[in-house]
Amino acid sequence: MTDLFRLWVYLAERPLLWLTATVLAYWLAHRLYTRSGEMPLLNPVLIAVTLLVGVLGITGTPYGTYFDGAQFVHFLLGPATVALAVPLYRQAHRLRRMWLPLVVALLAGSVTGIVSAVGIGWLLGLDPTVLRSLAPKSVTTPIAMGIAEQIGGLPSLTAVLVILTGISGAVLAVPALRALGLGREQAAAKGFAIGVASHGIGTARAFEHSEDAGAFAGLGMGLNGALTAALVPLLAWLLGV
Protein backbone atom coordinates (compact mmCIF):
# COMPACT_ATOMS: atom_id res chain seq x y z
CA MET A 1 0.00 0.00 0.00
CA THR A 2 2.90 2.35 0.71
CA ASP A 3 4.33 1.77 -2.75
CA LEU A 4 0.91 2.33 -4.29
CA PHE A 5 0.52 5.58 -2.37
CA ARG A 6 3.93 6.78 -3.53
CA LEU A 7 3.03 5.94 -7.12
CA TRP A 8 -0.19 7.92 -6.85
CA VAL A 9 1.61 10.95 -5.36
CA TYR A 10 4.07 10.81 -8.24
CA LEU A 11 1.35 10.52 -10.90
CA ALA A 12 -0.79 13.23 -9.31
CA GLU A 13 2.02 15.72 -9.87
CA ARG A 14 2.15 14.98 -13.61
CA PRO A 15 0.12 17.47 -15.71
CA LEU A 16 -1.02 14.79 -18.16
CA LEU A 17 -2.58 12.57 -15.50
CA TRP A 18 -6.02 14.18 -15.52
CA LEU A 19 -6.07 14.65 -19.27
CA THR A 20 -5.37 10.92 -19.62
CA ALA A 21 -8.00 10.13 -16.98
CA THR A 22 -10.59 12.22 -18.83
CA VAL A 23 -9.91 10.56 -22.18
CA LEU A 24 -9.88 7.09 -20.59
CA ALA A 25 -13.14 7.73 -18.71
CA TYR A 26 -14.88 8.83 -21.89
CA TRP A 27 -13.45 5.92 -23.86
CA LEU A 28 -14.73 3.45 -21.28
CA ALA A 29 -18.11 5.20 -21.14
CA HIS A 30 -18.45 5.19 -24.91
CA ARG A 31 -17.54 1.48 -25.08
CA LEU A 32 -20.26 0.75 -22.53
CA TYR A 33 -22.70 2.91 -24.47
CA THR A 34 -22.08 1.14 -27.78
CA ARG A 35 -22.07 -2.32 -26.17
CA SER A 36 -25.50 -1.56 -24.66
CA GLY A 37 -26.95 -0.75 -28.08
CA GLU A 38 -26.79 3.01 -27.35
CA MET A 39 -29.12 2.84 -24.38
CA PRO A 40 -30.06 6.49 -23.56
CA LEU A 41 -29.50 6.10 -19.81
CA LEU A 42 -25.89 5.06 -20.50
CA ASN A 43 -25.02 8.34 -22.20
CA PRO A 44 -21.19 8.48 -22.37
CA VAL A 45 -21.00 12.03 -21.00
CA LEU A 46 -23.08 11.05 -17.97
CA ILE A 47 -21.02 7.93 -17.30
CA ALA A 48 -17.68 9.68 -17.85
CA VAL A 49 -18.62 12.53 -15.51
CA THR A 50 -19.74 10.02 -12.87
CA LEU A 51 -16.46 8.08 -13.15
CA LEU A 52 -14.34 11.22 -12.88
CA VAL A 53 -16.31 12.60 -9.94
CA GLY A 54 -15.84 9.26 -8.20
CA VAL A 55 -12.09 9.29 -8.80
CA LEU A 56 -11.78 12.89 -7.59
CA GLY A 57 -13.82 12.09 -4.49
CA ILE A 58 -11.91 8.92 -3.61
CA THR A 59 -8.50 10.55 -4.10
CA GLY A 60 -9.48 13.84 -2.48
CA THR A 61 -8.33 15.79 -5.53
CA PRO A 62 -9.59 19.40 -5.74
CA TYR A 63 -11.38 20.39 -8.94
CA GLY A 64 -8.76 23.08 -9.59
CA THR A 65 -6.03 20.46 -9.70
CA TYR A 66 -8.07 18.33 -12.08
CA PHE A 67 -8.81 21.28 -14.36
CA ASP A 68 -5.16 22.31 -14.51
CA GLY A 69 -4.34 18.93 -15.99
CA ALA A 70 -7.41 18.49 -18.21
CA GLN A 71 -7.89 22.04 -19.48
CA PHE A 72 -6.74 21.08 -22.99
CA VAL A 73 -10.11 19.35 -23.39
CA HIS A 74 -11.76 22.62 -22.38
CA PHE A 75 -9.67 24.48 -24.97
CA LEU A 76 -10.89 22.10 -27.69
CA LEU A 77 -14.50 23.13 -27.03
CA GLY A 78 -13.86 26.34 -28.95
CA PRO A 79 -12.64 24.73 -32.21
CA ALA A 80 -15.30 22.02 -31.87
CA THR A 81 -18.05 24.64 -31.63
CA VAL A 82 -16.71 26.55 -34.63
CA ALA A 83 -16.52 23.28 -36.59
CA LEU A 84 -20.31 22.96 -36.26
CA ALA A 85 -20.52 25.60 -39.00
CA VAL A 86 -19.30 23.06 -41.59
CA PRO A 87 -22.35 20.72 -41.59
CA LEU A 88 -24.60 23.75 -41.12
CA TYR A 89 -23.17 25.35 -44.28
CA ARG A 90 -24.15 22.22 -46.19
CA GLN A 91 -27.75 22.85 -45.10
CA ALA A 92 -27.79 26.50 -46.24
CA HIS A 93 -30.25 25.79 -49.05
CA ARG A 94 -32.75 24.36 -46.55
CA LEU A 95 -32.32 27.20 -44.07
CA ARG A 96 -33.57 29.73 -46.61
CA ARG A 97 -36.80 27.76 -46.98
CA MET A 98 -37.27 27.06 -43.27
CA TRP A 99 -36.47 30.41 -41.68
CA LEU A 100 -40.04 31.14 -40.46
CA PRO A 101 -40.68 27.82 -38.64
CA LEU A 102 -37.17 27.99 -37.20
CA VAL A 103 -37.79 31.48 -35.80
CA VAL A 104 -41.11 30.40 -34.27
CA ALA A 105 -39.54 27.26 -32.79
CA LEU A 106 -36.62 29.26 -31.41
CA LEU A 107 -38.88 31.78 -29.68
CA ALA A 108 -41.15 29.06 -28.28
CA GLY A 109 -38.27 26.89 -27.08
CA SER A 110 -36.24 29.69 -25.57
CA VAL A 111 -39.11 31.32 -23.69
CA THR A 112 -40.47 27.96 -22.51
CA GLY A 113 -37.05 26.89 -21.24
CA ILE A 114 -36.61 30.08 -19.23
CA VAL A 115 -40.14 30.50 -17.87
CA SER A 116 -40.66 26.82 -17.02
CA ALA A 117 -37.42 26.58 -15.05
CA VAL A 118 -38.02 29.78 -13.10
CA GLY A 119 -41.74 28.99 -12.65
CA ILE A 120 -41.14 25.52 -11.23
CA GLY A 121 -38.40 26.89 -8.96
CA TRP A 122 -40.74 29.63 -7.75
CA LEU A 123 -43.50 27.11 -6.99
CA LEU A 124 -40.98 25.09 -4.98
CA GLY A 125 -40.10 28.18 -2.97
CA LEU A 126 -36.50 28.52 -4.11
CA ASP A 127 -34.43 31.54 -3.18
CA PRO A 128 -34.45 34.39 -5.76
CA THR A 129 -30.71 33.94 -6.28
CA VAL A 130 -31.27 30.31 -7.21
CA LEU A 131 -34.09 31.32 -9.56
CA ARG A 132 -31.74 33.73 -11.35
CA SER A 133 -29.20 30.92 -11.63
CA LEU A 134 -31.86 28.63 -13.15
CA ALA A 135 -33.00 31.00 -15.88
CA PRO A 136 -30.14 30.51 -18.41
CA LYS A 137 -29.69 26.76 -17.84
CA SER A 138 -30.52 25.78 -21.45
CA VAL A 139 -27.59 27.56 -23.13
CA THR A 140 -23.93 26.65 -23.33
CA THR A 141 -21.89 27.13 -20.16
CA PRO A 142 -19.85 30.31 -20.92
CA ILE A 143 -22.96 32.22 -22.03
CA ALA A 144 -25.07 30.89 -19.16
CA MET A 145 -22.49 31.84 -16.53
CA GLY A 146 -22.17 35.34 -17.99
CA ILE A 147 -25.96 35.80 -17.94
CA ALA A 148 -26.24 34.51 -14.37
CA GLU A 149 -23.55 36.91 -13.18
CA GLN A 150 -25.24 39.83 -14.96
CA ILE A 151 -28.65 39.27 -13.29
CA GLY A 152 -27.31 38.43 -9.82
CA GLY A 153 -27.30 34.63 -9.97
CA LEU A 154 -24.55 32.21 -8.97
CA PRO A 155 -22.40 31.35 -12.02
CA SER A 156 -21.01 28.20 -10.39
CA LEU A 157 -24.53 26.89 -9.68
CA THR A 158 -25.59 27.80 -13.21
CA ALA A 159 -22.67 25.79 -14.63
CA VAL A 160 -23.86 22.69 -12.75
CA LEU A 161 -27.44 23.23 -13.92
CA VAL A 162 -26.28 23.65 -17.53
CA ILE A 163 -24.43 20.33 -17.41
CA LEU A 164 -27.44 18.57 -15.85
CA THR A 165 -29.71 20.07 -18.52
CA GLY A 166 -27.41 18.94 -21.31
CA ILE A 167 -27.11 15.40 -19.97
CA SER A 168 -30.88 15.17 -19.42
CA GLY A 169 -31.49 16.33 -22.97
CA ALA A 170 -28.96 13.88 -24.38
CA VAL A 171 -30.60 11.02 -22.49
CA LEU A 172 -34.29 11.88 -22.93
CA ALA A 173 -34.66 14.06 -26.03
CA VAL A 174 -34.43 11.49 -28.83
CA PRO A 175 -36.77 8.93 -27.15
CA ALA A 176 -39.24 11.71 -26.30
CA LEU A 177 -39.25 13.11 -29.85
CA ARG A 178 -39.57 9.60 -31.25
CA ALA A 179 -42.58 9.01 -28.99
CA LEU A 180 -44.12 12.16 -30.49
CA GLY A 181 -43.88 10.57 -33.92
CA LEU A 182 -40.78 12.32 -35.25
CA GLY A 183 -38.63 9.87 -37.21
CA ARG A 184 -35.40 10.19 -39.17
CA GLU A 185 -37.19 12.04 -41.95
CA GLN A 186 -37.78 14.92 -39.49
CA ALA A 187 -34.10 15.09 -38.52
CA ALA A 188 -33.98 18.88 -38.89
CA ALA A 189 -36.87 19.44 -36.49
CA LYS A 190 -35.50 16.95 -33.97
CA GLY A 191 -31.99 18.38 -34.12
CA PHE A 192 -33.14 21.99 -33.76
CA ALA A 193 -35.30 21.11 -30.75
CA ILE A 194 -32.43 19.28 -29.07
CA GLY A 195 -29.98 22.13 -29.70
CA VAL A 196 -32.36 24.74 -28.28
CA ALA A 197 -33.18 22.66 -25.20
CA SER A 198 -29.84 21.10 -24.30
CA HIS A 199 -26.97 23.04 -25.96
CA GLY A 200 -23.64 21.31 -26.75
CA ILE A 201 -24.16 17.98 -25.01
CA GLY A 202 -27.49 17.57 -26.74
CA THR A 203 -25.91 18.62 -30.04
CA ALA A 204 -23.33 15.86 -29.73
CA ARG A 205 -26.18 13.39 -29.21
CA ALA A 206 -27.98 14.79 -32.27
CA PHE A 207 -24.91 14.12 -34.42
CA GLU A 208 -25.11 10.48 -33.36
CA HIS A 209 -28.64 10.44 -34.76
CA SER A 210 -27.64 11.97 -38.13
CA GLU A 211 -25.52 14.75 -39.64
CA ASP A 212 -28.67 16.71 -40.55
CA ALA A 213 -29.90 16.57 -36.96
CA GLY A 214 -26.48 17.62 -35.68
CA ALA A 215 -26.27 20.57 -38.07
CA PHE A 216 -29.66 21.93 -37.00
CA ALA A 217 -28.86 21.24 -33.33
CA GLY A 218 -25.75 23.40 -33.69
CA LEU A 219 -27.88 26.15 -35.23
CA GLY A 220 -30.41 25.89 -32.41
CA MET A 221 -27.68 25.99 -29.77
CA GLY A 222 -26.09 29.12 -31.21
CA LEU A 223 -29.32 31.03 -31.81
CA ASN A 224 -30.71 30.12 -28.41
CA GLY A 225 -27.54 31.34 -26.73
CA ALA A 226 -27.88 34.75 -28.39
CA LEU A 227 -31.62 35.02 -27.77
CA THR A 228 -31.40 33.88 -24.14
CA ALA A 229 -28.71 36.49 -23.45
CA ALA A 230 -31.21 39.12 -24.55
CA LEU A 231 -34.37 37.61 -23.02
CA VAL A 232 -33.26 36.57 -19.54
CA PRO A 233 -32.33 40.04 -18.22
CA LEU A 234 -35.61 41.41 -19.67
CA LEU A 235 -37.75 38.60 -18.23
CA ALA A 236 -35.96 38.80 -14.87
CA TRP A 237 -36.86 42.49 -14.70
CA LEU A 238 -40.48 41.94 -15.81
CA LEU A 239 -41.03 39.05 -13.38
CA GLY A 240 -39.23 40.83 -10.57
CA VAL A 241 -36.95 37.84 -9.98
Task: Supply the pLDDT for residue 15.
Answer: 62
Q: Which long-range contacts (CB under 8 A, 24 or more apart) does 160-166 make?
A: 161/133, 161/134, 161/137, 162/136, 162/137, 162/138, 162/199, 163/49, 163/201, 164/137, 165/137, 165/138, 165/197, 165/198, 165/199, 166/45, 166/198, 166/199, 166/200, 166/201, 166/202
Q: Tens of pLDDT along 50-80?
A: 898 898 888 888 877 787 777 777 777 777 7
pTM for the predicted model, two decimal places: 0.71
Question: How sure is the predictor about 183, in pLDDT bands with cuts at 50, 70 and 90?
Answer: low
The amino acid occupying position 97 is R
Q: How far apart are CA 67 and CA 91, in angstroms?
A: 36
Give residues with Cβ within 8 angstroms of 222, minimum separation 6.
84, 195
Domain range summary for the chain, segments of one domain joined by +: 2-83, 90-239
Answer whether 174's CB lies under 8 Å from 194's CB: yes
Q: How far apart are CA 33 and CA 51, in angstroms?
A: 14
Q: Tens of pLDDT along 7-44?
A: 455 455 556 778 888 888 989 988 988 888 777 777 78
